[in-house]
Amino acid sequence: MLNPHQAAVKQLEKVARLLRDKYDDQKQFDRAINKLKQPDRVLTTELIIKTKMGNKHFRAFRAQHDDARGPYKGGIRFHQRVTEAEVKALSTWMTWKCAVTGIPYGGSKGGIIVNPKELTAIELQSLARAYARWLGDNIGPWMDVPAPDVNTNGQIMAWMVDEWQKAKIEKYGTLEENALATFTGKPLALGGSAGREEATGLGGVHILEKLAEKQGWRRKQDVTIAIQGFGNVGYWFAYHADKLGYKVVAVSDSRGGVYLARGLDPMKTLKCKQRTGRVTECHCTSDGCHLNAGQVISNEELLKLDVDVLVPAALENVITEKNAADIKAKFIIEMANGPTTPAADEILVDNQVTVIPDILSNAGGVTVSYFEWVQNLAGYYWPYDEVLAKLKPLMENAFEQMWQIKTEHQVPAREATYMSAVKKVVDALILRGRV
């Protein structure tokens, strides 16, 4: 199996073949594509924090892919399986994701190899601060704007922005920009944006609505949805889909899932999970939670359910060539980053499964992060309703651009989305004279 970065490069090469004839100077286009196969830079270090048990060492990364369209932008994940190849791939996908919705960023991604559950609260804060201090001059409002990702949150961003600001003032004596604009996904009390918590999931539901429009789904209660992953993204997708009348019949977490044919209640399910610690204990419908009202299933079984829409909202590479042929859903909305391998994608296309790719479906998060950055730079904050009102047209326009290319060129949705995104980045590189 290809590693994540190899998969990202393979996707880029596939799209390049579809775009090349659109350029008069094809050698210049080829130079741009070759440049985009690797990040502009990959920063690595070993962070050391002091604990009562002695010093602990952690490998850390930051990949900055391309800034032709604006500052680098991307999350920071704390996970024991973080690799350099992974952050390189995720930074590449962030470049395309920002281009898809038209927000003026390039892509980046960071990570630390750590299981945060094994750290005390003090150790976690020390690690977050060490990472921010290490990044130093390599990030900033007009250079690279980090955000939360897997196992990071607003509190960790708050620690990071505080440490980064301290380090800059120690080094230069002053700040020329608002330090709060260096990190997004912060708590509301520290310059965060209203609506950020639910933005990724809600953005995915805007995509679901556009898909329903194209497919002529008038009876939303007949459209069944299975969601793998019930963290922040999966929950808010389920919540907003249910609120609009769609039938969410299955959700899961890392320990397994639950299937309720009549449809589950996302809010009651979340409260039950918070109380019991696992989704498999939560057989919750609109009239309450009842033991054995549903069926306990594995994550693999959830992927194979006979539903209309499958939503992978957990980690990457969960749909592979080993299980792709068993998927019965005819529509997949990717809410995780890179949940489908290239080999699986080919099988899904052959089976006429429409896959709305991650760089479009889950772009709501980075879009509201962009709104947060704009608000920080201006020192002016928008109310919740205004933030969500600004998100919807950007997601809808991005979908329409994709669908137009898909229809015009008779290509799958993934290729159409990448064609839209890659062309915007290549054009920016050419206009800047970098290739």
Give the integer Cα–Cα distance in Å for 22 and 44.
38
Nearest-CA neighbor of 74 among 83, 87, 84, 86? Answer: 87
Give the integer Cα–Cα distance in Å for 334 and 320.
14
Residue 265 gets which letter from DSSP?
Answer: -
Give the active site residue among 88, 109, 406, 424.
109
Judge contact between 304 and 323, C-beta under 8 A: yes
What are the backbone angles phi and psi of residue 279, rounded to the nearest 5°? -65, -35
Output the six-digit token pair for 148. Answer: 């939360």
Give the angle 342-346-352 at the CA atoms, nearest 5°: 135
Give the integer Cα–Cα distance in Å for 185 and 149.
9
Judge contact between 382 and 375, C-beta under 8 A: yes
Helices 4-19 and 342-350, axial angle in degrees (round to 10): 50
Active site residue 243: no
Give the integer Cα–Cα distance in Å for 291 and 180.
46
Q: Is 325 left (phi over 0), alpha (psi -120 to 50) or beta?
A: alpha
Helices 384-409 and 413-432, axial angle in degrees (round to 10): 100
Residue type, 370: Y
Q: Is 107 left (phi over 0), alpha (psi -120 to 50) or beta?
A: beta
Helix (H) or strand (E) holding 410: none
Q: How far is CA 188 from the centre of its chain?
A: 21
Output the six-digit token pair for 79. Answer: 């996970």
Output the six-digit token pair for 68. Answer: 């032709």
Q: Is 244 left (phi over 0), alpha (psi -120 to 50) or beta?
A: alpha
Judge contact between 391 and 206, C-beta under 8 A: yes
Pure H helices in 43-176: 84-101, 121-135, 154-172
What residues act catalytically?
A: 109
